[in-house]
Amino acid sequence: MSREALAAVSNQYGLWIDGEEQPAETDEQLSVLNPATEGELATVAIATENDVDEAVRVARDAFETWNRQTPAERGRILTDIAAAIRNEKERLAQIETLENGKPLTEARGQVERAARHFEYYAGIADKIQGESIPLSETYVDYTVREPLGVTAHIVPWNVPIYLFARSVAPALAAGNAAVVKPARETPLGALELAQLATDVGLPDGLLNVVSGHGSEAGAALTGHPEVSSVTFTGSDSTGVRVGKSAIENVSEVVLELGGKSPNVVFPDADWEAALEGVITGIFSNAGQVCSAGSRLLVHEEIHDEFIADLADRATALDVGPGIDDADMGPLTSDDHLEEVLEYIDIGRQEAGDPVIGGDRLDGDGYFVEPTIFDSVTHDMRIAQEEIFGPVLTVSTFADEEEAIELANATDYGLVAGIYTENVGRAHRFAREVDAGQIYINEFFAGGNETPFGGFKQSGIGRDNGVQAIDNYTQIKNVCANIDHR
Ligand code: NAD
Task: Please indicate whether residue 29, judged by its CB atom, sits closer than 6 Å to ligand 1.
Answer: no
Q: Tens digit of pLDDT for each residue in 251-275?
A: 999 999 999 999 999 999 999 999 9
Which atom number of ligand 1 is nearest to the Cα of residue 414?
41
The active-site residue out of 88, 99, 252, 290 is 290
Residues facing 227 on adjacent strands:
150
Give distance in angstroms: CA of 442 to centre of ligand 1.
26
Q: How many residues comprise the chain?
A: 485
Active site annotation includes 401 = no
Domains of the chain: 3-257+459-475 (3.40.605.10), 262-448 (3.40.309.10)
Are the C-beta atoms of 119 and 105 separated by less than 8 Å?
A: no
Task: Please indicate whether residue 47, judged by its CB atom, sits closer than 6 Å to ligand 1.
Answer: no
Active site annotation includes 479 = no
Give distance in angstroms: CA of 113 to centre of ligand 1.
20
Helices (H), 133-224: 160-173, 188-199, 219-222
5 band by pLDDT with thresholds 50, 70 and 90: low
Indicate whether 4 pLDDT > 80.
no
**Mean pLDDT value across residues 118-126:** 98
**Residue of 204, 222, 203, 156 whose CA lies nearest to 183:** 156
DSSP three-state, residue 354:
coil
Task: Please indicate whether residue 257, judged by its CB atom, sits closer than 6 Å to ligand 1.
Answer: yes
Give distance in angstroms: CA of 478 to centre of ligand 1.
39
Q: Tens digit of pLDDT for each residue in 301-332?
A: 999 999 999 999 999 999 999 999 999 999 99
Quick one: pLDDT at residue 8?
A: 81
Task: Please indicate whether residue 388, judged by its CB atom, sits closer than 6 Å to ligand 1.
Answer: yes
Mean pLDDT, the chain, as a whole number? 97
pTM of the complete model:
0.97
9 band by pLDDT with thresholds 50, 70 and 90: confident
- Of 221, 290, 414, the one to substitute when testing ligand 1's pocket (max ligand atoms within 8 A of C-beta) is 290
2 band by pLDDT with thresholds 50, 70 and 90: low
Quick one: pLDDT at residue 3?
A: 45
Lowest mean pLDDT among 7-11, 290-294, 402-406: 7-11
Quick one: pLDDT at residue 480?
A: 98
Q: What percent of the chain has pLDDT over 70?
A: 99
Task: Please indicate whether residue 214, judged by its CB atom, sits closer than 6 Å to ligand 1.
Answer: yes
Task: Please indicate whether residue 227, judged by its CB atom, sits closer than 6 Å to ligand 1.
Answer: no
Give distance in angstroms: CA of 34 to centre of ligand 1.
20
Indicate whether 223 pLDDT > 70.
yes
Look at ligand 1, atom 8, and give the residue with the nearest C-alpha: 183
The active-site residue out of 99, 119, 256, 400 is 256
**Cα separation of 164 and 401, whole Å?**
39
Give distance in angstroms: CA of 235 to centre of ligand 1.
5
Task: Please indicate whether residue 166, judged by its CB atom, sits closer than 6 Å to ligand 1.
Answer: no
47 band by pLDDT with thresholds 50, 70 and 90: very high
**Cα separation of 464 and 105, whole Å?**
22
Task: Please indicate whether residue 429, judged by its CB atom, sits closer than 6 Å to ligand 1.
Answer: no
Q: What is the DSSP secondary-structure string of 53-113?
A: HHHHHHHHHHHHHHTTS-HHHHHHHHHHHHHHHHHTHHHHHHHHHHHH---HHHHHHHHHH
**Residue of 397, 393, 396, 394 whose CA lies nearest to 385:** 393
Q: Tens digit of pLDDT for each residue in 144-192?
A: 999 999 999 999 999 999 999 999 999 999 999 999 999 999 999 999 9
Are the C-beta atoms of 225 and 190 separated by less than 8 Å?
A: no
Indicate whether 6 pLDDT > 90.
no
**Residue of 126, 135, 145, 138 whose CA lies nearest to 76:** 126
Give distance in angstroms: CA of 477 to centre of ligand 1.
35
Q: Tens digit of pLDDT for each residue in 367-416?
A: 999 999 999 999 999 999 999 999 999 999 999 999 999 999 999 999 99
**Cα separation of 107 and 93, whole Å?**
5
Indicate whether 436 pLDDT > 60.
yes
484 band by pLDDT with thresholds 50, 70 and 90: confident
Task: Please indicate whether residue 179, judged by its CB atom, sits closer than 6 Å to ligand 1.
Answer: no
